[in-house]
Amino acid sequence: MAELGYVGLGVMGSSVVRRLLAAGHTVTVWNRTPEKAEPLLTAGARWADSPREAAERSEVVFTMVTNTEAGQAVTRGGDGILAGLAPGTIYVDMSTASPANARALADEVEARGAKLLDAPVSGTSLTVDEGKASLMVGGDADAFERAKPVLEAIGPKVFHLGGNGTAVTLKIAINLSLAVQMLAFCEGVLLAEKSGIDRERAVEAMLASVIASPMVTYRGPLVLGHPDEVWFDCRMMQKDMNLALELGRDLEVPLPTTSITNEFLTAANGMGIGDKDFAVIFDVLASLAGVETEVIA
Amino acid sequence: MAELGYVGLGVMGSSVVRRLLAAGHTVTVWNRTPEKAEPLLTAGARWADSPREAAERSEVVFTMVTNTEAGQAVTRGGDGILAGLAPGTIYVDMSTASPANARALADEVEARGAKLLDAPVSGTSLTVDEGKASLMVGGDADAFERAKPVLEAIGPKVFHLGGNGTAVTLKIAINLSLAVQMLAFCEGVLLAEKSGIDRERAVEAMLASVIASPMVTYRGPLVLGHPDEVWFDCRMMQKDMNLALELGRDLEVPLPTTSITNEFLTAANGMGIGDKDFAVIFDVLASLAGVETEVIA
Amino acid sequence: MAELGYVGLGVMGSSVVRRLLAAGHTVTVWNRTPEKAEPLLTAGARWADSPREAAERSEVVFTMVTNTEAGQAVTRGGDGILAGLAPGTIYVDMSTASPANARALADEVEARGAKLLDAPVSGTSLTVDEGKASLMVGGDADAFERAKPVLEAIGPKVFHLGGNGTAVTLKIAINLSLAVQMLAFCEGVLLAEKSGIDRERAVEAMLASVIASPMVTYRGPLVLGHPDEVWFDCRMMQKDMNLALELGRDLEVPLPTTSITNEFLTAANGMGIGDKDFAVIFDVLASLAGVETEVIA
Amino acid sequence: MAELGYVGLGVMGSSVVRRLLAAGHTVTVWNRTPEKAEPLLTAGARWADSPREAAERSEVVFTMVTNTEAGQAVTRGGDGILAGLAPGTIYVDMSTASPANARALADEVEARGAKLLDAPVSGTSLTVDEGKASLMVGGDADAFERAKPVLEAIGPKVFHLGGNGTAVTLKIAINLSLAVQMLAFCEGVLLAEKSGIDRERAVEAMLASVIASPMVTYRGPLVLGHPDEVWFDCRMMQKDMNLALELGRDLEVPLPTTSITNEFLTAANGMGIGDKDFAVIFDVLASLAGVETEVIA
Complex ipTM value: 0.90
Which helix (H) or strand (E) covers residue B7, if one does?
strand B3-7
Whether residues C288 and A271 touch (CB distance < 8 A) is answered with yes
Q: Is A259 on the interface with D (CB under 8 A)?
A: yes
Task: Yes or no: say if C54 and C46 are a contact pair by the CB < 8 Å rule.
Answer: no
How far apart are the C-alpha atoms of D19 and A6, rounded to whole Å?
65
Question: Residue C297's pLDDT is what?
Answer: 64
Inform me whether the pLDDT recorded for D211 exceeds 90: yes
| pLDDT score for B104 | 92
* A273 to chain C: closest CA residue: C290
List the single residue in B with minimal CA-CA distance to A202. B170
Share of chain A above pLDDT 70, in %: 100
Reply yes or no on whether the pLDDT at D31 is more than 90: yes
Measure B180 CA to nearest chain D CA, in Å. 15
Q: Which of D12, D132, D174, D198 to mutate to test the interface with C (most CBs of C within 10 A)?
A: D174
Q: Does B208 touch chain A (CB under 8 A)?
A: yes
Q: How many CA atoms lie within 13 A of C235 on its CB side?
A: 13
State the alpha helices, DSSP H only, in chain D: 11-22, 38-42, 51-56, 68-75, 81-84, 99-111, 125-129, 141-154, 166-194, 199-207, 214-219, 234-251, 256-270, 281-288
Helices C199-207 and D166-194, interaxial angle, to 10°?
50
D245 contacts in chain A (CB < 8 Å)? 245
pLDDT given for residue A125 in this prediction: 84
Say whether D175 sits in a helix, a strand or coil. Answer: helix
* DSSP character at residue C67: S
The phi, psi pair for B27, rounded to 5°, reads -125, 120
Contact of D106 with D116, CB cutoff 8 Å: yes
Mean pLDDT of all residues belonging to chain D? 94
Residues of chain B with pLDDT under 70: 297
From A181, A194, A210, residue closest to B214, measured CB to CB: A210
Residues of B in contact with A288 (CB under 8 A): 254
pLDDT at res. A297 = 64
Contact C289 A267 (CB under 8 A): yes
pLDDT at D297 over 80: no
CA angle D246, D251, D253 (to 5 degrees): 85
Mean pLDDT across chain A = 94
Please give the model's pTM, rounded to 2 decimal places: 0.92
pLDDT score of C122 more than 90 = no
With 90 as the cut, is the pLDDT of residue C287 above it?
Answer: yes
pLDDT value of residue A1: 85
Confidence of residue C96 (pLDDT cuts 50, 70, 90): confident
Average pLDDT (A31-56) is 96
Q: Are C116 and C110 in contact (CB under 8 A)?
A: yes
Segment among A133-147, C25-39, D119-133 with least mean pLDDT: D119-133
**Percent of chain A with pLDDT strictly greater than 90:** 83
C175: closest CA of chain A, how far (Å): 23
Q: Is B290 on the interface with D (CB under 8 A)?
A: yes
Across the interface, whether the CB atoms of C252 and B270 are under 8 A apart is answered yes
Chains interfacing with A (3 or more CB pairs < 8 Å): B, C, D
| Segment D105-149, tens digit of pLDDT | 999 999 999 999 999 887 778 889 998 888 999 999 999 999 999
Per DSSP, A122 falls in state E
Contacts of B111 (CB under 8 A, 6+ apart): none
The C-alpha of D226 sits at a distance from chain B's nearest C-alpha, in angstroms, of 20
